[in-house]
Amino acid sequence: MTEAHLVLDHLEKRFGAGPPAVASLSLDVRKGELLGLLGPSGCGKTTTLRMIGGLAEATAGHILVGGRDVTTLPPHKRDMGIVFQNYALFPHMDVAGNVAFGLEMRKRPKAEVRERVERALEMVHLQGLGHRKPRELSGGQQQRVALARALVIEPSILLLDEPLSNLDAKLRDEMRTEIRDIQQRLGITTIFVTHDQVEALAMCDRIAVMRAGLLEQVGTPYEIYETPATPFVADFVGRINRIDGERDGNGEIVAGPFRLRAAKPGRAGKVTVMVRPHRIHVATDAIGPEWNSATGTIRRATYVGDVLACEVDCGGATLTVERHTHPGLPIPRGGEAVTLAWRVSDTLAFDRPAALSADAP
């Protein structure tokens, strides 16, 4: 296994007397990997990034880079490049001046600065635009300038704080591919903060899912999506159906109108059952023992281009079912009776404390 380049050791941040914004967070980031910090607003991901970059002081714990403790060092001594959500470009400077800023603060020779700025602009496909002011650029171009400014100092770690959130959907898709390509080409260790599950799944080598200042799960995109460790991770990363029920001593789960079996065995008692909408099919053939099934009536079908989402009333519980669209496939009508089927291996069941309310995450 590749040795950790960045180590967070029981890192904590408190603001006042309330609960910690980040609570005893420990995490190893391997050299050259892109790790995503993913979670809802207020979960502590940006605070964690700011502590790593030296923009926020840690209340407790340690930050190590290459085995060196940088916890108390100022930002300019941490050898890190940062791209902010709002890009933070200097409006009075041209593009070249913005990119050169970090090198000039480090008092690099002018000839070296010119050469490295040109190389950085070429890397982000902005060659020939060094004379322009930020206001003369599109949002995507400004994002590239901010990226070039962070990379031109050749940092050992790149910190990205939701850099794509201000872009439209199409440009966001293009830029996440471009950032990933540059990161892999340079082999630079990168921390990427986002609340967008698709960005995290598409870009990252591993994802750290955070909730209320705590780590819920760390794993590859496949592990996070296919084998979520908690109901929160399953619910936050991708769309999912959720039903509360109870498992008997034989492993069968009674959840509303359903009689189900789950992918993994568990103890008898209250459980939360989850299954992703696109793993549920409208059955047309006999259903084998490796499948769960239910009958119901289509309540509503919503066409959204590449996906058709159907709400199916199963007699006391509603399941959302998704399938890809095709010109030859008719859109189901409300009131149509259907039989649904999904694999036992796609049925997630999480033990639920008896006192947990049905609407708790």
Which pLDDT score is estimated for 38? 97
CA distance 176 to 123: 15
Residue at 142: amino acid letter: Q
CA distance 120 to 355: 57
User: How do the residues of the chain divide into helix, strand and coil, expressed in percent and rounded to 5?
Assistant: 25, 35, 40
Token representation of residue 81: 């490049």
CA distance 211 to 235: 12
CATH 2.60.40.10: does it fit domain 240-351? no
Contact 99, 149 (CB under 8 A): yes
At residue 278, what are phi and psi to the nearest 5 degrees?
-80, -5
Cα-only R_g, the chain: 24
Rounded to 10°, the helix 110-123/139-151 angle is 130
What's the CATH number of domain 4-232, 3.40.50.720, 3.30.930.10, 3.30.540.10, 3.40.50.300?
A: 3.40.50.300
Distances (CA, A) of 208 to 25, 228, 253: 11, 12, 30
Residue 200 DSSP symbol? H
Which pLDDT score is estimated for 333? 85
Max distance between CA atoms of the chain, in angstroms, equals 75
Which pLDDT score is estimated for 12? 97
Which pLDDT score is estimated for 354? 57
Buried b / exposed e along 302-315 (16+ C-beta atoms within 10 A): eeeeeebbbbbbbe
Residues of the chain with pLDDT under 70: 1-2, 354-361
Q: Where are the domains of the chain?
A: 4-232, 240-351
CA distance 145 to 89: 8
